[in-house]
Copies of this chain bind each other. A is one copy, B any other.
Amino acid sequence: MSTNATTARLAFELVKTACSNCNLRELCLPIGLEQEELKKLDELVSTRRRLKRGDYLYRAGQGFESIYAVRSGFFKTDVLIEDGRDQVTGFQMTGELLGLDGISNEVHSCNAIALEDSEVCAIPFSHLEGLSRQIPTLQHHFHQVMSREIVRDHGVMMLLGTMRAEERLAAFLLNLSQRFKARGYSPAEFNLRMSRDEIGSYLGLKLETVSRAFSRFQDEGLLSVHQRRIRILNTAGLRKLMSHQRS
């Protein structure tokens, strides 16, 4: 292989890796950055990592060094406690960040697992801090991302604390739908990347309860469900069901 060809390939890889060329730049960390600033960000997002379905991106207890932006694919995060209980704390899709929990102790506090073949950009955290000292827009945006995670968690706490099974599932599906929509996919038809068991774990329900709720939704004409393929037939109905007050 000629030196030229090698150079060209390297350049190609580099371009492929650059935030400034990433079609996720409106979803991901680079939101609102100037061309100039984007260039700087490119330098720090040097590493890409490819994962196969089932691979761990990181594990609870591992040292924390980087946060990760999902470039493609789908992840779940979960926490385990000694006695064997575990809970899925979130599902992450394209453009979302993983690993924010690790900042507090320099140690990851949950597992991150690919639910399908995926690719992430690793962002060394100390570099990110350095860069965000130079680029206020980046700094502020990063703070917003962390804050949004906190707000999201409060929503899940609300869901777990006050909603009943069908309300939880409706909320979950509407949330997924809206996130697919934001990424240019159909908000009405998509397939789930996670099992009934994983949905149940996230929603604080048993897999049988999740399954029954799906069946009920289908009977009522709100959804069509075939295994993991979901079509939402009546968004308004789901929304109404979700906010159906009790007592």
How long is the Cα–Cα vector from A204 to B7 in the complex, in angstroms?
Answer: 59
How long is the Cα–Cα vector from A155 to B83 in the complex, in angstroms?
Answer: 15
Do residues B153 and A204 form an inter-chain contact, with CB atoms below 8 A?
no
Do residues B244 and A148 form an inter-chain contact, with CB atoms below 8 A?
no
Do residues A83 and B150 form an inter-chain contact, with CB atoms below 8 A?
no
Q: Within 8 Å CB of A84, what residues of B?
A: 245
Do residues A82 and B243 form an inter-chain contact, with CB atoms below 8 A?
yes
**Nearest CB of chain B from residue A167's CB, rounded to whole Å:** 10
Do residues B109 and A158 form an inter-chain contact, with CB atoms below 8 A?
no
**Nearest CB of chain B from residue A2's CB, rounded to whole Å:** 45
A220 within 8 A of B: no
Q: Within 8 Å CB of A89, what residues of B?
A: 154, 157-158
**Nearest CB of chain B from residue A145's CB, rounded to whole Å:** 8
Interface string of A102-138 (1 = CB under 8 A from B): 1111000110000000000000000001101110100
Do residues B104 and A160 form an inter-chain contact, with CB atoms below 8 A?
no
Contact of A204 among B136, B143, B154, B160 (CB under 8 A): B160
How long is the Cα–Cα vector from A245 to B154 in the complex, in angstroms?
Answer: 26
A226 within 8 A of B: no
Do residues B83 and A245 form an inter-chain contact, with CB atoms below 8 A?
yes
A139 within 8 A of B: yes
Interface string of A70-91 (1 = CB under 8 A from B): 0000000001011111110100
Give the residue name and chain of the B residue nearest to A148 (CB): B104
How long is the Cα–Cα vector from A178 to B161 in the complex, in angstroms?
Answer: 24
Give the residue name and chain of the B residue nearest to A135 (CB): B133
A191 within 8 A of B: no
- Residues of A whose CB lies within 8 Å of any CB of B are 79, 81-87, 89, 100-105, 109-110, 129-130, 132-134, 136, 139-140, 143-151, 153-158, 160-163, 201-204, 243-245
The 9 closest A-B pairs by CB, nearest first: A103-B147, A161-B204, A153-B153, A160-B160, A104-B147, A83-B245, A104-B148, A146-B146, A133-B133
